[in-house]
Amino acid sequence: MNRRTFLTTVGSTAAAAALPRFLHAHGGGGPVLRGRAEHCIFIWLGGGMSQIDTFDPKEPGNSKQRKAGTDYGVIDTAVRGVQYTEFLAGSARLADRITAVRSVTHPWGSEHALATNFVHTGRPVSGSTIYPSIGSVVAHERGAASDQAPAYIMIGYPSVSRGPGFLGPKHGYIYLLDTETGPGGFTPPPGVSLERMAHRQKLLSSRPPGQDGPDAASLLDEYAIAQQEALRLAGPDFMRNFKLAEEPAALRERYGSEFGQRCLLARRLIQNGVRFVEVSHNLNFINGAGWDTHNAGHLEQHVLIKQLDSALSTLISDLEDKGMLDKTLIAIGTEFGRPGQFDSGGGRGHQAAAFTMVLAGGGLRHQGAYGSTDRFSNKPVDHPVTVPDFHATIYAAMGIDPAKDLTSGGRPVPVTDGGKPIAALFG
């Protein structure tokens, strides 16, 4: 076999091996699904949102009598035949801009940390590889939309599941807990001028002798890159994003709770060039358990639902008023859902076999709801959606090829683990 024949054979074999995954990611060989969203706001409901009490209502139940079913009233939405529960009235009026994906399923329903990692990375925990979160993949593939902003900000507590994994710190998040002060360490200490900050940045940008070779991508080097990024953004232009008092009082009131103010901040951040913002709901566990509504945690669940509704509906309307909704994908994630049956304490247990995650805006063809579940929302009836499928839908909406390979330690790692975008939402 001569060299040309050998190379042709090897190339054909490699292409043939890659073809099944490419076709799966693009709907079996049909047109490539590619949206026009430029930003993503990813709302995280830690604890496990009860789909049967929110976006996938069923027949009436009663927690006090332990009667299976939806514990709240049910209302019609702007989409014919689609209903949500009564505490989602604002979102129901905007359901034609929303798709509640009711048939999400995964196998990690017993433990919060494993499920949280899976929904953020699309892969189970591995002993040899730390996979990147969806936010870090977007940061890696799209970068920041402005040189005056980072690509990825998280409003909530830091964790490995939200991190860059093998992509490295350059594609990690900047996190904050306080919407008014911004990220810790970004405001120069008293007496430190912008000139002095610039001098510090210059010192960090210089590399010691002998550090310009193959080890330039070492962990130490990447840590220095992260430091430079923090110093670059420490000026007044970026920090002005956190001055929520600049917004009209009436708008801030419509956003509502502390969580609503985080969503308002997320809008300001993406408006000024941040590509991906994760917003965690209920950092302070309003009902004692957050969305983890076992036993008595169920009693105050409606407070969380109302907060979610006011923030989500106002965010959608606010983005639309500013001409940004089609360019901004809103995603709502949670680690798993809840069964339609009540536990002995009147709450609900964990359930990953069927639950709901939500998409809104982003230029998608919304339909109020996608997929369906059985009588008590215990398992999907049609159009099951895996977590990699949900990720692939977000990537495709943002113009990222879900069949693309990333690289970890010199080996290819697909962006999604066989994920396939929800084709019905495109076109």
pLDDT for the residue numbered 231: 64
- Residues 391 and 352 reside in one and the same domain: yes
Query: Which residues span the domain enclosing 226?
Result: 194-207+215-232
Q: Where does residue 69 fall: left (phi above 0), alpha (psi -120 to 50 degrees), or beta otherwise?
A: left
User: Do 147 and 72 belong to one domain?
Assistant: yes
Residue-level pLDDT at 324: 98
Write down the pLDDT at residue 16: 43
Of the chain, the end-to-end C-alpha distance in Å amounts to 47
Asked if residue 175 belongs to a domain, the reply is yes
Strands (E), 114-249: 152-155, 174-176
Whether residue 16 is contained in a domain is answered as no
- Domain shared by 198 and 303, yes or no: no
156 and 223 part of one domain: no
Q: Is 372 strand, coil or helix?
A: strand
What's the confidence (pLDDT) of residue 205?
Answer: 58
φ, ψ of residue 133 in degrees (nearest 5): -75, 165
pLDDT score of 215: 45
Same domain assignment for residues 115 and 224: no
Q: Is residue 140 part of a domain?
A: yes
Give the CATH number, domain containing residue 41.
3.40.720.10
Residue 19, in any domain of the structure: no
Question: Backbone dihedral region of 346: left (phi > 0), alpha (psi from -120 to 50 degrees) or beta?
Answer: left
The pLDDT assigned to 201 comes to 60
305 touches 88 (CB < 8 A) = yes
Q: Is residue 155 part of a domain?
A: yes
Both 54 and 141 in one domain: the answer is yes
Co-location of 395 and 344 in the same domain: yes
Which amino acid appears at position 424 of this protein? A
Asked if 406 contacts 137 with a C-beta cutoff of 8 angstroms, the reply is yes
Read off the tokens for 169: 């710190």
Which residues fall within 8 angstroms of residue 57, CB to CB, at 6 or more apart? 70, 72, 74, 83, 84, 85
**Same-domain check for residues 336 and 199:** no
Report if residue 18 sits inside a domain: no
The pLDDT assigned to 206 comes to 60
Q: State the residue for tokens 């969503």.
A: 263
* Angle, alpha carbons 365-366-372 (nearest 5°): 125
Question: What pLDDT, on the 0 to 100 scale, is given for residue 128?
Answer: 85
pLDDT per residue, tens digit, the chain (427 aa), is: 554 444 444 444 444 444 444 444 545 556 678 899 999 999 999 999 999 999 999 999 999 999 999 999 999 999 999 999 999 999 999 999 999 999 999 998 789 999 999 999 999 998 889 999 999 999 999 999 999 899 999 999 899 999 999 999 999 999 998 888 888 766 666 666 667 766 666 665 565 555 554 444 455 666 566 666 666 676 678 889 999 999 999 999 999 999 999 999 999 999 999 999 999 996 655 666 789 998 888 988 999 999 999 999 999 999 999 999 999 999 999 999 999 999 999 999 999 999 999 999 999 999 999 999 999 999 999 999 999 999 999 999 999 999 999 999 899 999 999 999 999 999 8
Q: 200 and 144 in one domain?
A: no
> Do 89 and 221 share a structural domain?
no
User: 177: which 2 tokens?
Assistant: 């807990």
3-state secondary structure of 397: helix
| C-alpha pair distances (Å), 248 with each of 245, 252, 255, 258, 314 | 7, 6, 11, 16, 13
Give pairs for 189-196: CB < 8 Å, separation 24+. 194/235
Helix (H) or strand (E) holding 102, with range, is: strand 98-105
pLDDT at site 2? 52
- Domain assignment present for residue 25? The answer is no
Q: Residues 6 or more apart from 332 whose CB is under 8 A from it?
A: 42, 43, 45, 49, 308, 312, 357, 358, 359, 360
Q: Smallest Cα–Cα separation from 385: which of 105, 18, 91, 14?
A: 105
414 assigned to some structural domain:
yes
| Dist. CA 326–CA 324, nearest whole Å | 6
Whole-prediction pTM: 0.88
**Burial (CB count <10 Å: 0-12, 13-18, 19+), residue 4:** exposed
Domain count, the chain: 2
Indicate whether 307 and 389 sit together in one domain: yes
Q: Which residues contact 151 (CB under 8 A, 6 or more apart)?
A: 138, 139, 142, 143, 144, 171, 274, 275, 276
Pairwise CA distance, residues 216 & 210, whole Å: 10
Measured CA to CA, the distance from residue 267 to residue 257 in angstroms comes to 15
DSSP, residue by residue, 268-318: HHHHTT-SEEEEES-TT-TTSSTT---GGGGTTHHHHHHHHHHHHHHHHHH
Q: Are residues 140 and 198 in the same domain?
A: no
Beta pairing partners, 385 = 104
Task: Give the HSE-up count for residue 372: Cα atoms under 13 Å, Cβ half-sphere.
Answer: 9
